[in-house]
């Protein structure tokens, strides 16, 4: 679902998360779009970019890295983002990138410290 939302630039999936508005959702899409080509390289069945199976074969470290990049792009520092992602993956190592992002955002709160929410 996350893969398709990013490929089709559908911000609706991200706006479902409490505290995420249209601008932040677009920022998440832009942040993750560059990472999808790297995930496609992990695809062992040759499906390639544009196929949802590319995301399903992604390793936990790739998901972790992608979510940390998205969170730092939203203003959280790398350490806080990494800690939140690590915490989510410790509870559910098989979580999708969308789930990890959603849970990490919930654990971090509504806005990075020292920043004013962009969704005003």
Residue 117 lies in a domain: no
Domain that holds residue 35: 2-108
Residue 86 lies in a domain: yes
Residue 113 lies in a domain: no
pLDDT 10s digits, 87-107: 999 998 888 888 888 899 889
CA angle 20, 23, 27 (to 5 degrees): 90
Residue 115 lies in a domain: no
CA angle 61, 64, 69 (to 5 degrees): 125
Instruction: Annotate 10-36 with DSSP letters as a single string.
Output: -THHHHTSTT--HHHHHHHHHHHHHHH
Beta carbons within 8 Å of 83's beta carbon, 6+ residues apart: none
pTM across the whole model: 0.52
CA angle 20, 26, 30 (to 5 degrees): 130
Least reliable range by pLDDT among 7-16, 17-26, 27-36, 81-90 = 27-36
Residue 114 lies in a domain: no
Confidence bin at 24 (pLDDT 50/70/90): confident
**Number of structural domains, the chain?**
1
Residue 94 lies in a domain: yes
Residue 119 lies in a domain: no
Residue 116 lies in a domain: no
């Amino acid at each position: 679902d996350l893969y398709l939302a990013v490929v089709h630039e559908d911000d609706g999936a991200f706006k479902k998360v409490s505290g995420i508005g249209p601008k932040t959702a677009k920022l998440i899409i832009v942040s993750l779009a560059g990472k999808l080509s790297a995930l496609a390289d992990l695809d062992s069945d040759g499906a390639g970019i544009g196929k949802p199976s590319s995301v399903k074969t992604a390793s936990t470290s790739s998901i972790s890295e992608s979510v940390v990049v998205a969170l730092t792009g939203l203003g959280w520092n790398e350490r806080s983002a990494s800690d939140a992602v690590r915490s989510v993956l410790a509870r559910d190592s098989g979580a999708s990138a969308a789930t990890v992002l959603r849970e990490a955002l919930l654990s971090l709160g509504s806005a990075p410290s020292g920043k004013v929410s962009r969704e005003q």
